[in-house]
Structure 1
Amino acid sequence: MSEKRYHFIGVGGAGMSVVAQLFFARGWELTGSDQNDSANLNKLRKMGINCWVGTRPQLITADMIIVYSSAIHPDNPEFAAAKAAGCKFMHRSQALALAAADRKFVAVAGAHGKTTTSGMLAQTFSQLGADPSFAVGGVVRHYQTGAHLGKGDYFIAEADESDASFLNYRPQLAIITNIEPDHLDNYGSPEKFEQAFFDFANCIKPGGTLIVCTDDPGCCHLVERLRTPGAATADKQNSIQILGYGIENPPANLDQFCLVKPQGEDPGSVSADFIVGEENTAVRLPMPGRHNLLNAAAVFLAAQVAGFSATDTAQALGEFSGTSRRFETRGEIEQIRVIDDYAHHPTEVEALMRQAREAAAGGKVLALFQPHLFSRTRNFASRFASALDLADQVIVCDIYGAREDPIPGVTSQIITEKMQRGSYLGNRDEAARVLAKAAQPGDLILTVGAGDVTAAGAVILQALEQRFAQ
Structure 2
Amino acid sequence: MSLKTDYSLSELAKLNIHFIGIGGSGMSGIARIMLAKGFTVSGSDKNDSAMLTSLKALGAKVEVGHKQENLGAADLVIISAAIDENNPELALARKKMIPVAARAQALAWLMSESTSIAVAGTHGKTTTTAMLAVALQTAGADPSFAVGGTINTAGTNAHSGSGSIFIAEADESDGSFLAYKPSGAIITNVELDHVDHFADEEAVFKVFEQFISSIQDNGFLVACGDDAGVKQLLTRITRKDLKILLYGQGENNDFQIQRIQLDPLSSLATVSSTGRRVGELSLSVVGKHNLLNALAAFTAASALNMAEDKLFAGLKSFTGTRRRFELKGEVSGVKVIDDYGHHPTEIIATLTAAKNLAQSARVLVIFQPHRYSRTAAFSEQFSAALSNADFTFLLEVYAASEKPIPGVSSLMIARNMDQSKVKFEPSMLEVVSEITKMAKSGDVIITLGAGDISSLGEPILQSLADR
TMscore range, shorter length: over 0.9
Cα distance in 2 for residues equivalent to 1:72 and 1:64? 18
Cα distance in 1 for residues equivalent to 2:152 and 2:59? 22
The answer as to whether partners of 1:110 and 1:179 remain within 8 angstroms in 2 is: yes
SS at match of 1:313: helix
- Look up the match of 2:153: 142
Cα distance in 1 for residues equivalent to 2:337 and 2:70? 42
- Look up the match of 2:264: 267
Q: Quick check: 1:42 aligned with 2:49?
A: no
- Look up the match of 1:131: 142
Q: 2:76 is aligned with what amino acid?
A: I
The answer as to whether partners of 1:433 and 1:459 remain within 8 angstroms in 2 is: no
How far 1:279 sits from its partner (Å)? Answer: 1.5
Q: 2:258 is aligned with what amino acid?
A: K
The answer as to whether partners of 1:432 and 1:460 remain within 8 angstroms in 2 is: yes
Q: 1:17 is aligned with what amino acid?
A: S
- Look up the match of 1:388: 386
Q: Quick check: 1:157 aligned with 2:198?
A: no
Q: Quick check: 1:304 aligned with 2:315?
A: no
Select 1:64's aligned residue among 62, 75, 81. Answer: 75
Cα distance in 1 for residues equivalent to 2:122 and 2:31? 24
SS at match of 2:240: helix
SS at match of 2:313: helix
How far 1:309 sits from its partner (Å)? Answer: 3.1
Cα distance in 2 for residues equivalent to 1:184 and 1:48? 38
- Look up the match of 1:399: 397
Cα distance in 2 for residues equivalent to 1:147 and 1:7? 18
SS at match of 1:180: coil
SS at match of 1:356: helix
> What TM-score do the two structures reach when normalised by structure 1?
0.94
Select 2:96's aligned residue among 85, 93, 96. Answer: 85
SS at match of 1:20: helix
Runs of 4+ deviating beyond 3 Å: none
SS at match of 2:317: coil
Cα distance in 1 for residues equivalent to 2:454 and 2:240? 45
Cα distance in 2 for residues equivalent to 1:2 and 1:107? 24
The answer as to whether partners of 2:185 and 2:220 remain within 8 angstroms in 1 is: yes
Q: CA offsets, 1:90-116, max 9 Å, x none?
A: 110111111222211110001110000
- Look up the match of 1:449: 449
Cα distance in 2 for residues equivalent to 1:405 and 1:66? 27
SS at match of 1:184: coil
Cα distance in 2 for residues equivalent to 1:215 and 1:427? 41
Structure 2 matches for 1:1-400, cutoff 5 A? 2-60=13-71, 63-226=74-237, 232=238, 237-250=239-252, 257-280=254-277, 281-400=279-398
SS at match of 1:75: coil
SS at match of 1:188: coil
- Look up the match of 2:6: none
The answer as to whether partners of 2:138 and 2:310 remain within 8 angstroms in 1 is: no
Structure 2 matches for 1:435-446, cutoff 5 A? 435-446=435-446
The answer as to whether partners of 1:62 and 1:87 remain within 8 angstroms in 2 is: no
Q: 2:442 is aligned with what amino acid?
A: G
Moved more, 141-150 or 260-269: 260-269
How far 1:61 sits from its partner (Å)? Answer: 5.0
How far 1:140 sits from its partner (Å)? Answer: 0.6
- Look up the match of 1:465: 465
How far 1:362 sits from its partner (Å)? Answer: 1.6
The answer as to whether partners of 1:107 and 1:174 remain within 8 angstroms in 2 is: yes
Q: CA offsets, 1:230-262, max 9 Å, x none?
A: xx4xxxx21111111112342xxxxx6112214
The answer as to whether partners of 2:135 and 2:312 remain within 8 angstroms in 1 is: no
Cα distance in 1 for residues equivalent to 2:68 and 2:58? 24
Cα distance in 2 for residues equivalent to 1:287 and 1:141? 12
How far 1:51 sits from its partner (Å)? Answer: 1.1
Cα distance in 2 for residues equivalent to 1:432 and 1:76? 36
The answer as to whether partners of 1:399 and 1:412 remain within 8 angstroms in 2 is: yes
Cα distance in 2 for residues equivalent to 1:16 and 1:429? 31
The answer as to whether partners of 1:373 and 1:399 remain within 8 angstroms in 2 is: yes
Q: 2:427 is aligned with what amino acid?
A: N
How far 1:273 sits from its partner (Å)? Answer: 1.3
How far 1:275 sits from its partner (Å)? Answer: 1.3
SS at match of 2:324: coil
- Look up the match of 1:229: none
How far 1:29 sits from its partner (Å)? Answer: 0.7
Cα distance in 1 for residues equivalent to 2:456 and 2:61? 30
Cα distance in 1 for residues equivalent to 2:177 and 2:190? 14
SS at match of 1:212: strand
- Look up the match of 2:8: none
Q: CA offsets, 1:190-236, max 9 Å, x none?
A: 1011110010000111111001112211111111111xxxxx4xxxx
Cα distance in 1 for residues equivalent to 2:411 and 2:43? 38
The answer as to whether partners of 1:184 and 1:190 remain within 8 angstroms in 2 is: no
**Unmatched tracts of structure 1, length 5 or more:** 227-231, 251-255
How far 1:38 sits from its partner (Å)? Answer: 2.0
The answer as to whether partners of 2:18 and 2:74 remain within 8 angstroms in 1 is: no
Question: Identity of paired residues, percent?
Answer: 41
How far 1:286 sits from its partner (Å)? Answer: 1.2
Cα distance in 2 for residues equivalent to 1:165 and 1:27? 26
How far 1:386 sits from its partner (Å)? Answer: 0.8
Cα distance in 2 for residues equivalent to 1:408 and 1:262? 49
Cα distance in 2 for residues equivalent to 1:289 and 1:370? 22
Q: CA offsets, 1:332-366, max 9 Å, x none?
A: 11111101111111100000000000011221100
The answer as to whether partners of 2:138 and 2:313 remain within 8 angstroms in 1 is: no
Cα distance in 2 for residues equivalent to 1:454 and 1:62? 36
